[in-house]
Amino acid sequence: MAIGDYPAEYNPKVHGPYDPARFYGKADAPFGQVKLGDLGAWFGRRDKNPRAIAGVFSRAFWRWQHKYMQPKRTGIAPFFQVIVGGMVFFYTINYGKLKHHRNYKYH
């Protein structure tokens, strides 16, 4: 499978039109329904190679796109989400410089 190809599990006769926000692999229990005792086994069943991790982020991005950016009447929420995400990102990369500017009370 090369970059840009459909997943190996995707079958157009079974699944219909391709949706980049959908996982076409074998179904498993959702994370919210996993019991604490089964958590290790659940993580053990996950595919941990770089391609699978990239697929997780790609599906998350497309789900966000379908929910916030692609509806006919999109609101202002996605723009604020991007702005807040940028603020958090730049705060974390500049935290080493910002922590020296704290105000302390000496008494």
Tens-place pLDDT, residues 21-66: 999 988 889 889 999 999 999 999 888 888 889 889 999 999 999 9
Structural domain for 30, as ranges: 10-101
Instruction: Give the Cα-Cα-Cα angle 55, 61, 67 (nearest 5 degrees).
Output: 135
Domain-located, residue 3: no
Domain-located, residue 22: yes
Q: What is the mean pLDDT of the chain?
A: 90
Average confidence (pLDDT) over 56-83: 93
Q: Looking at the 3D structure of the chain, how many domains does it have?
A: 1
Domain-located, residue 1: no
The amino acid present at 82, given as its one-letter code, is: V
- Distances in whole angstroms, Cα of residue 83 to Cα of each of 3, 40, 69, 96: 30, 36, 15, 21
Domain-located, residue 4: no
What is the distance between the alpha carbons of residues 87 and 45, in angstroms, rounded to a whole number? 35
Helix, coil or strand: residue 90 = helix
pTM: 0.74
Domain-located, residue 40: yes
Domain-located, residue 93: yes
Instruction: Outline where DSSP puts E strands in 1-107.
Output: none
User: Given pLDDT bands bounded at 50, 70 and 90, which one contains residue 1?
Assistant: low
Domain-located, residue 92: yes
Domain-located, residue 82: yes
Question: What are the percentages of helix, strand and coil residues in the chain, rounded to 5?
Answer: 55, 0, 45
